[in-house]
A and B are shown apart, each in its own frame.
Chain A
Amino acid sequence: MNKVYDTVVLGGGPAGLAAAVEAKKAGAQDVLILERDRELGGILNQCIHNGFGLHTFNEQLTGPEYAERFIDMVKDLNIPYELDTMVLDLEDKGEVKRIHTINEEDGYNIIDTKSVILTMGCRERTSGAIGIPGYRPAGIFTAGTAQRYINMEGYMAGKKVVILGSGDIGLIMARRMTLEGAEVEAVCEIMPYSNGLTRNIVQCLDDYDIPLKLSHTITFIHGKDRIEGVTIQKVDEKLQPIAGTEEYIPCDTLLLSVGLIPENEISRKAGVEIDKRTNGPVVSELRETSIPGVFAAGNVVQVHDLVDFVSEEAGLAGKGAAKFIQNNLSDNISFTTETDNNLSYVIPQEIALDNVEDAVTFYMRVRNVAENKVINAYFGDKKIATKRGRKFVPAEMINFKIPKSKLEGYEGKLRFVLEDK
């Protein structure tokens, strides 16, 4: 009979590494990481700027440094990993999960395991997805692709740059390309507020006098072979371009930082239930998906803005997988969660309090900038907790920690509502 692993982790990025480490520490013996790229670390490898690890390690690390800390833990715990290995399929066979992989050395491989942790991360939205009219020339990159060319391959992607979208990768790339000698003409953001972290606006745009044009979008791409310029336009409250506000900006490069999408192709094919709001799996407190024994964490569940929270979430999934294989995971759901319309989602969607030690952290985002507001948590009419903050913005994930003691004794739905202070 084939070997059956305790836990196989799909993806060796920040979520996968932390999940594997925690699973092993919590008692899973045979843990394996499958990574499709040529090294562990995932997208952190191309994030050479610093700012990672403040929450986890209390210091500022670069992306590769942050990854290295976890890679060292993986090595210290003797957790095996396979690189350049692509997972083609995940099958739920009840007792075991069957993973189909390929790589150059072993060819087509079948791996059986008792539990799986999905940590495939996310991908960037493209120009096709947002449907900018105009030509389709060379020189249009998602910010992450440009980052890979510059930081990993050592090649410049252009000299005169316009950036659409103020997501964090776009802001980081505005600074990176400026440092490499490119001129960044403008960052256009269709929303009236930025979609990146405030510190990135300050450190990546303001410090280099790069204009951030809020309520602006690109309405035409010029240039048949290589991009030659863009037409930008102001938009109204309904995000529709306003006639007469057209402005032509010559450029040879357009970077897009217009959102990230969890990569759930494998999850979907395997039959994992997906939450339409997050585009990620519906998960429990220990990040178990709708398929028992299949866990998920990191950007595959929800797009995070800080890697520290990815690691934290992955730790939960690792713990969950270890409990599962030790028959120690309760499936006794205490309650589910929901939000009002001012919040775009909440994670986790289901809670079994038996699996909770001392508290549950709920993650959520506001749909619009909210000042002088609080988020209240209700069971029915009963308010059980309140999250305060100076200002809630869509770009920053809110973590709302509620002690287990306050959650006990209720059933039904825990509802999160944005309300006046």
Chain B
Amino acid sequence: MFDIAIIGAGVAGSYIARECSRYQFKVALIDGESDVGNQISMANSAIVHAGFDAPSNKLKGKFNAAGCIMYGKVCEDLDVPFNRCGSLVVAHDEFEMLKLHELYKNGLQNGVPGMQILFQKEVHEMEENLADDICGALYAPDAGVVSPFELVVKLAENAVDNGVELFLDTVITDIENKEDYFLLKSNNQEFKAKIVINAAGIYADDVYEMVGDPYFELLARKGQYFIFDKEVGDLVNTVIFPCPSEKGKGILVAPTVHGNLLIGPDANPTEKGDISTTQNELNNIKITAAKNVPVIKENFGKIIRNYAGTRNTPIKAEFTTTDGDFIIEESPVKKFVNVAGYESPGLTSIPAVSFYVLNEIILPICRRENIEIKENPNFNPKNKKHIYFNDLSSEEKQELIKENPKYGKVICRCETITEGEIIDTIHRSAGAKSVKGVKKRCRAGMGRCQGGFCSPRVVEILSRELDIPMDEVSYDKKKKSYILNGKTKVVDSNE
């Protein structure tokens, strides 16, 4: 019997699991994918928002600025790349300048520190590649960029190191409310749990319907993006937002935490699970992004990848689509907690949301239901240091290779990722089991050749380290996203 079962190992589920591991609860973290953080947490803008645009009367406004402030500490503890590079919302005319003042006021209410309204000269001094007609901006120094998939991986790793049990490739198919506990059925096994936390992302409404009468619905809204080569990663130094509209924060231009350039997203309703990119929308993103940073036009040849992700926008009876708030509460079904409609600024808010879920929802339920609350004396908030070989000094490199020669072998040429780093990511808790898993954790295959050179080597390393045949190594999902299918015609040398 688990004390707590968490459905969904994205950023919300994994963070809450890690927070729960501060106590001696028996926790199951369950996901249908073959890796943690593989859906919404995998494909998004990777921005830690300062918190000036979230409405102050909503949960979004309550958690955003606090979450942003908490990011520094958690990324340090978990050894996740995070860069507080600041953000600019740019204005092209007086009307948009007025909008900036509204955002500024809202930001003050939300407790966003250090904001400034900048005028033409200051903005252009700060970012030399902005369009000439930009006449001002709202600067928020605390905004930043993070690696969202590395964050989820490290959260899950830390959770597992602190006692959480992780179940992947496990799709919850039915939930029975047995009053004393919930019985969760899946494609693999059954789970009994006293408390269930539904953090199933875009599928959270479907999961809730397994136990209760629907009271919210999630609308998938797709956003598409481009990633540019690191060669042009310094075209901007801060996150550049257009003035927000009713559709959302708009198409941004941002440096990534690893030094690439990112543009996107748009926002269009779609079906759940649709993460395809489409030609017209991709073209629009290019055009729109170039309105704020025109120099991008000359650099479309430096694009190395496009991708799409979905937001899970809540439609609750009393809300419209666009001002829907997070749904974070013990649901009408007692002991069943929804963390749903968890769209932007969900990634930013999660440190604050997790603290809230644990202290204001889970612990009170435990007290009410006489579930034992005992602190975990062995809780360690820190992960084992991740070695980024390329960032080391030559002396440190020398030392490291002497200690472990595998760090002397570069597998991914574009990002300079060594075999030592890849092996490390495979053998950590919640470690990599697939080529994409390796890519998410240590960037092998993330560079300009997109795995052309290194993927055969990575397959070989996974095969050896996991002790499975080469043709059982998958790109992502076990079996379904196979890479190789059988051996070539074999010539028997003994014939």
**Which A residues are closer than 8 A to B by beta carbons?**
36, 84, 86, 88, 100, 102-108, 123-124, 126-129, 131, 133-139, 142, 144-145, 148-150, 152-159, 180-181, 219-221, 224-226, 241, 252, 265
Besides A150-B488, A154-B488, 10 other A-B contacts (C-beta < 8 A): A105-B405, A123-B453, A126-B450, A133-B277, A135-B275, A139-B481, A153-B470, A157-B484, A159-B485, A226-B480
B478, chain A: closest CB distance, angstroms:
10
Q: Complex: how many Å from CA A150 to CA B484?
A: 9
Q: Which residues of chain B are within 8 angstroms of A124 by Cβ–Cβ distance?
A: 449, 452
Can you list 28 A-B pairs, Cβ within 8 angstroms, ordered by A?
A: A86-B409, A103-B408, A104-B408, A107-B397, A108-B408, A123-B449, A124-B452, A126-B304, A128-B450, A129-B303, A129-B448, A131-B306, A133-B276, A133-B277, A133-B278, A136-B307, A138-B476, A139-B475, A139-B483, A145-B455, A145-B456, A150-B488, A153-B484, A155-B485, A180-B488, A219-B279, A226-B482, A265-B414
The range of chain B's interface size is 35 or more
Query: What per-residue 1/0 map shows which CB atoms of B439-456 lie under 8 Å from chain A?
Result: 000000000111111011
Q: Which residues of chain B are within 8 angstroms of A108 by Cβ–Cβ distance?
A: 394, 397-398, 401, 408
Q: Which of B416, B476, B489 contacts A225 (CB 8 A)?
A: B476
Residue of B nearest to A136 (CB): B307
* Interface hub of A36, A102, A265 (most chain B Cβ within 10 A): A102
Residue of A nearest to B273 (CB): A224
Query: What per-residue 1/0 map shows which CB atoms of B273-302 lie under 8 Å from chain A?
Result: 101111100100000000000000000000
Query: What per-residue 1/0 map shows which CB atoms of B379-416 lie under 8 Å from chain A?
Result: 00000000000000010011001100110111001101
Q: Complex: how many Å from CA A158 to CA B483?
A: 8
B402, chain A: closest CB distance, angstroms:
6
Q: Complex: how many Å from CA A376 to CA B401?
A: 56
Q: Which residues of chain B are within 8 angstroms of A137 by Cβ–Cβ distance?
A: 475, 481
Q: Which of B279, B398, B475, B484 contacts A155 (CB 8 A)?
A: B484
User: In the complex the two chains form, is A104's CB within 8 Å of B406's CB?
Assistant: yes
Q: Complex: how many Å from CA A126 to CA B277?
A: 16
Given known contacts A102-B408, A145-B456, A226-B480, is B306 in contact with A133 (CB within 8 Å)? yes
Q: Does B424 contact A (CB under 8 A)?
A: no
Q: Which residues of chain A are within 8 angstroms of B278 by Cβ–Cβ distance?
A: 133
B470, chain A: closest CB distance, angstroms:
6
Q: Which of A84, A150, A220, A252 contacts B276 (CB 8 A)?
A: A220
B223, chain A: closest CB distance, angstroms:
14
Q: Complex: how many Å from CA A124 to CA B277?
A: 22
Please list the 3 inter-chain residue pairs (A to B) with the smallest Cβ-Cβ separation, ordered nearest first.
A138-B475, A128-B305, A107-B401
Q: Complex: how many Å from CA A128 to CA B229?
A: 11
Q: Complex: how many Å from CA A106 to CA B486?
A: 37
Q: Which of B303, B451, B487 contacts A154 (CB 8 A)?
A: B487
Q: Complex: how many Å from CA A106 to CA B401?
A: 8
Given known contacts A138-B474, A138-B476, is B456 in contact with A131 (CB within 8 Å)? no
Q: Complex: how many Å from CA A145 to CA B450?
A: 11
Residue of A nearest to B408 (CB): A104
User: In the complex the two chains form, is B276's CB within 8 Å of A134's CB?
Assistant: yes
Q: Complex: how many Å from CA A156 to CA B282?
A: 33
Given known contacts A103-B409, A148-B456, is B481 in contact with A138 (CB within 8 Å)? yes
Q: Does B460 contact A (CB under 8 A)?
A: yes
Q: Which residues of chain B are within 8 angstroms of A219 by Cβ–Cβ distance?
A: 279
Q: Complex: how many Å from CA A139 to CA B227?
A: 21
Q: Complex: how many Å from CA A129 to CA B449?
A: 9
Q: Which residues of chain B are within 8 angstroms of A100 by Cβ–Cβ distance?
A: 394
User: In the complex the two chains form, is A145's CB within 8 Å of B452's CB?
Assistant: yes
Q: Complex: how many Å from CA A142 to CA B456?
A: 12
Q: Complex: how many Å from CA A390 to CA B139?
A: 63
Q: Does B477 contact A (CB under 8 A)?
A: yes
Which residues in window 120-152 of B have CB below 8 A to A? Answer: none
User: In the complex the two chains form, is A107's CB within 8 Å of B413's CB?
Assistant: no
A243, chain B: closest CB distance, angstroms:
11
A262, chain B: closest CB distance, angstroms:
12
Residue of B nearest to A226 (CB): B481
Q: Complex: how many Å from CA A298 to CA B452?
A: 20
Q: Complex: how many Å from CA A104 to CA B398?
A: 10
Q: Complex: how many Å from CA A265 to CA B414?
A: 9
User: In the complex the two chains form, is A157's CB within 8 Å of B394's CB?
Assistant: no
User: In the complex the two chains form, is A133's CB within 8 Å of B282's CB?
Assistant: yes
Q: Which residues of chain B are within 8 angstroms of A157 by Cβ–Cβ distance?
A: 483-485
Q: Complex: how many Å from CA A144 to CA B485?
A: 17
Q: Which residues of chain B are within 8 angstroms of A102 by Cβ–Cβ distance?
A: 397, 401, 408, 410
B249, chain A: closest CB distance, angstroms:
23
Q: Does B471 contact A (CB under 8 A)?
A: yes
A35, chain B: closest CB distance, angstroms:
12
User: In the complex the two chains form, is B276's CB within 8 Å of A135's CB?
Assistant: yes
Q: Complex: how many Å from CA A102 to CA B402?
A: 11
Q: Which residues of chain A are within 8 angstroms of B397 by Cβ–Cβ distance?
A: 102, 107-108
